[in-house]
């Protein structure tokens, strides 16, 4: 049986020339942990990451256990070949400057790599049932590091068009931002 990312015997891959720093990666894995996250959050995806450039090399920055790290595109392509579903989303706000994109990228590299991953599946229930807490839950998980990199440099960029803010974002939050038009899906351009 062919993997979902395999079309007519050709495995889909991330095309590094079409992936840009600050693009958001959303994945759906078939692991027990991934399935549990999706079931708890009520989301299609279970993990978020961000394309970043470090020392001239494009990589994927992500919060994973035990600490956040940079993952090579080759590693992601291996995971895609093994059945990982990957979507690529881009912030749609017009007028974001090259300087802002560089600052988002640099903030991620300088502040969000090597951070301890704080979550267990049990803790995710808190996010599902008290998703609109008026305070920020401590910790840097997969969606939070993407959210923080963007919002520290371009405040409110990931707010919904109606102004709704999110203090504790999850993969479901980014899916909702895609539906709201805050993000655009560029997967077909980037993965082929």
Q: How many CB atoms lie within 10 A of CB 37?
A: 25
Per-residue pLDDT reduced to its tens digit, 73-113: 999 999 999 999 999 999 999 999 999 999 999 999 999 99
Is pLDDT above 90 for 129?
no
Is the pTM higher than 0.75?
Answer: yes
- Specify the DSSP class assigned to residue 137: P
In sequence order, the 6+-apart residues with CB closer than 8 A to the CB of 127 are: 40, 41, 137, 168, 170
Domains and CATH numbers, the chain: 19-187 (3.90.1720.10)
C-alpha to C-alpha distance for 132 and 165, rounded to whole angstroms: 9
In sequence order, the 6+-apart residues with CB closer than 8 A to the CB of 158 are: 91, 147, 150, 151, 166, 169, 174, 177, 182
DSSP H helices in 114-185 = 121-129, 142-153, 171-180
Residue 68 phi, psi dihedral angles, 5° rounding: -65, 150
Is pLDDT above 70 for 65?
yes
C-alpha to C-alpha distance for 68 and 115, rounded to whole angstroms: 5
């Amino acid at each position: 049986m062919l993997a979902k990312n395999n079309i007519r015997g050709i495995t889909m891959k991330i095309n590094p020339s079409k992936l840009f720093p600050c693009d958001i990666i959303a994945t759906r894995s078939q692991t027990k942990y991934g399935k549990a996250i999706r079931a708890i959050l009520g989301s299609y995806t279970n993990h978020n990451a961000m394309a970043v450039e470090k020392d001239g090399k494009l990589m994927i920055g992500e919060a994973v256990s035990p600490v956040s790290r940079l993952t090579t595109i080759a590693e992601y392509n291996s995971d895609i070949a093994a059945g990982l579903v990957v979507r690529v989303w881009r912030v749609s706000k017009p007028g974001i400057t090259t300087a802002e994109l560089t600052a988002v990228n640099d903030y991620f590299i300088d502040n969000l790599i090597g951070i301890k991953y704080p979550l267990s599946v049990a803790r995710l229930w808190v996010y599902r049932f008290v998703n609109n807490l008026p305070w920020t839950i401590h910790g840097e998980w997969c969606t939070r590091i993407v959210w923080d990199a963007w919002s520290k440099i371009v405040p409110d960029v990931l707010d919904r068009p109606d102004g709704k803010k999110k203090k504790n974002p999850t993969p479901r939050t980014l899916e909702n931002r895609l539906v709201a038009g805050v993000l655009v899906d560029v997967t077909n351009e980037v993965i082929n």
